[in-house]
Amino acid sequence: MTKIHMIGGPGSGKTYIAAKLSKMLGVPRHDLDSIFWDQDSEFFGSQTPPVKRGEKLNKLLSEDKWIIEGVYYSWLEESFRHADYIFVFKANVFVRDWRILKRFILRKVKLAPSPRKENLKTLIELLKWNHQYDGNNLVEAIKLMKPYKDKVIILTKSDDVFKLFVKRKKKSSGGAA
């Protein structure tokens, strides 16, 4: 069984790495934004009610294999508990700023899918939030993960995730490359 939880600031590489790892391992990937934000609401920025959000999360956690990724933590202790691995992405905040800006531009020129109605105001709010994420949200998330510290792997380079699974794959195939 492979159950992976990925957490990190916006633009830290979670979604990109989760998609690649999902394909490599054949494990379904789930973006927590699609659970946290109410996809059925006609109003941008509407949150899914906590009870409904919990139900959606519990359904995912009951699967044999999953990769869950997002910036959230306060409602995810069950995910941390069930995970085989918890990857914490700690990319430099200015690298994340660049990725956020690049993603915004690609979405505006329709070279990347845009799941939400983004505008300059929401971009500025996201960049500001990005700068406080490590000192606030990530600190609190790591506190919540303390009981599961044996599963937590902190990464400053998101591609390091693959090294772990390549080694694991070689071991399970008898070391043949």
Q: Is residue 170 part of a domain?
A: no
Q: Which tokens is 60 given? A: 């995912």
Q: Is residue 13 part of a domain?
A: yes
CA separation for the pair 43, 110 (Å, rounded): 22
Task: State pLDDT tens for residues 45-101.
Answer: 788 999 999 999 999 999 999 999 999 999 999 999 999 999 999 999 999 999 999
* pTM confidence score: 0.88
CA separation for the pair 25, 46 (Å, rounded): 33
Q: Is residue 172 part of a domain?
A: no
| pLDDT value at residue 171 | 63
Cα dihedral sign, 17-19-23-29: positive
CATH number of the domain residue 104 falls in = 3.40.50.300
Q: Is residue 143 over pLDDT 50?
A: yes
Total tally of structural domains belonging to the chain = 1
Q: Is residue 175 part of a domain?
A: no
Range of the domain at 43: 3-165
Q: Is residue 29 part of a domain?
A: yes
Give me the chain's average pLDDT, please: 90
| pLDDT value at residue 177 | 47
Q: Is residue 109 part of a domain?
A: yes
Q: Is residue 174 part of a domain?
A: no
Q: Is residue 21 part of a domain?
A: yes
